[in-house]
Structure 1
Amino acid sequence: MLKIQNLNSYYGRSKALDDVTLNIEAGKITGIAGRNGTGKTTFLKTIMGLTDRSDGQLTLNGTDISAYLTHERARAGIAYVPQGREIIPDFSVRENILMGAYADPEKRIGIPEIVPELFPYLINNLDRAGGVLSGGQQQQLAIARALAARPKLLLLDEPNEGIQPSIVAEIEQVILRLNSEFGLTIILVEQNIGFLRRACAHFAMLEKGHVVEGGRIDGLTDDAVQSHMMI
């Protein structure tokens, strides 16, 4: 689905991603792991066109999107759920979800049918302000907003970070269902190695902006984790 070749990314003069080459397989979850500060979030932002500058090649379903602006990448079928969720607190649940719909290339401005099935709480509270929701509910809202764009590829940046333990299992189950039942291709940045091993078909381990390990998920061994994630 997404072919990434010799991808570099910069914040100002600082190089944050260095010569990353990966193939993201359609219909699978690819996990991105590594210590804090190794370029995982930058990797997702670069795919979305959100860093100061990047070079290399991104090919989505055979189309070179390297020169696309962020909104063009969204309309091409990429949706991004950022770390920290970034919902608009003064907007209602409904308004937050509908923001994502403006990236739908078919301009279907509405709540997709998948959202009530996955997030009944949101549907029962469409008029509540996003800012009064719990962290876990806001994460549900951020995912629902992304789904409103009807994406082909979903980028998730640490979706379980800062969420109460009682909701973590629900979020994990949603991610698994999005892939297994709805066929969504997902790139998942996640620190929980157990969840990566359960959810992903492939992985890449980043260190200082480089891919230092990668391949099938059974290659995410305890030795690899010890070498590249433990302090």
Structure 2
Amino acid sequence: MPPDILLDVVGLHASYGATPVLQDVDLRIGRGEIVALIGRNGVGKTTMMRCLIGLLRATRGSIRYRGADITRMAADDRARQGIGYIPQGRDVFPRMTVEENLLVGQSAGGGGPGGRRDLIYGYFPILKERRRQMAGTLSGGQQQQLAIGRALIGGPDLILLDEPSEGVQPNIVQLIVRVLRSIRHDIGTTILFVEQNLDTILTLAERCYVMEKGQVVAQIPMGEVSQESVRQHLLL
């Protein structure tokens, strides 16, 4: 584990109404890592991401980001502190153009450098080509590229990415994986992602946390992420 810890989660609990979902979750992400959160469907992975970004209130435990306690911080304040979030299903603004979506992301992230738009267009040339097109008319893969670009343009130190391969054709998934690795290499962005696709996990994750019944029950350390070690934790 790198000594420079960016995200430190200790004893996290969260519920939907009276139904507990997260139970005593611990995880720690070092600056510049690419880490997968894996497990079967319905074990709490998306709930974990929503809790980290502030869309679901933690009922117990702590979330520390860059050394500061953000457990009670609102989602928009977490975005301004440098956490980007790409939800499952992408959630682009369908009646806004590609460029307008990016401008919203830039504003939500605290008004990151304007030149970063050129960086986004360099990673995802289709977005530049379609910059005046309504986001709702894009394909699923194009919307996923836009959602990643919208999060990245605000200059986050950490990106939370939920199911990047869902509903996306394989060649676009490969592009997204290459871009995510480039983002880490080029600008040092840390990435925590939820994924069910075995190939995506194997090509992107450096290590994994395994969730089961709302808890982190295992880790797959760096150097041990393999088809065998991952497959046993997924429904394939």
Please classify the TM superposition score into its range, dividing by the shorter chain length: over 0.9
SS class of match (1:206): strand
Could you list the runs of 5+ residues in structure 1 that have no partner in the other structure?
Answer: none
Identical columns (%)? 39
Q: Is the 8 A contact 1:97 1:111 kept in 2?
A: no
Q: What is residue 16 of structure 2 aligned with on the other side?
A: 11
Q: Displacement of 1:21 after TM fit?
A: 0.5
Q: Displacement of 1:225 after TM fit?
A: 3.9
What is the TM-score normalised by the length of structure 1? 0.92
Cα 1:32–1:106 change in 2 (3 A) is same
Q: Displacement of 1:54 after TM fit?
A: 3.3
SS class of match (1:112): helix
Q: Displacement of 1:227 after TM fit?
A: 4.1
Cα 1:3–1:53 change in 2 (3 A) is closer
Matched, 1:44 2:49: yes
Q: Displacement of 1:47 after TM fit?
A: 0.2
Q: Is the 8 A contact 1:110 1:148 kept in 2?
A: no
What is the TM-score normalised by the length of structure 2? 0.91
Q: 1:126 aligns with which of 103, 121, 131?
A: 131
Cα 1:125–1:230 change in 2 (3 A) is closer
Q: Displacement of 1:97 after TM fit?
A: 1.1
Letter in 1 for 2:35: T
Q: Displacement of 1:165 after TM fit?
A: 2.2
SS class of match (2:109): coil
Superposition CA RMSD, Å: 1.9
Q: How many residues in Structure 1 have an aligned counterpart in Structure 2?
A: 231
Q: 1:86 aligns with which of 61, 83, 91?
A: 91
Q: Displacement of 1:124 after TM fit?
A: 1.8
Matched, 1:198 2:203: yes
Cα 1:107–1:160 change in 2 (3 A) is closer
1:136-160 deviation per Cα after TM superposition (whole angstroms, max 9, x unaligned): 0000000111012110000010111
Distance in 1 separating the partners of 2:142 and 2:197: 20
Distance in 2 separating the partners of 1:176 and 1:15: 35
Q: Is the 8 A contact 1:31 1:202 kept in 2?
A: yes
Q: Is the 8 A contact 1:98 1:111 kept in 2?
A: no
Q: Is the 8 A contact 2:58 2:71 kept in 1?
A: no
Distance in 1 separating the partners of 2:226 and 2:178: 23
Distance in 2 separating the partners of 1:221 and 1:148: 32
Q: Is the 8 A contact 2:220 2:229 kept in 1?
A: no
Larger CA deviation: 172-181 vs 75-84:
172-181
SS class of match (2:187): coil
Letter in 1 for 2:86: V
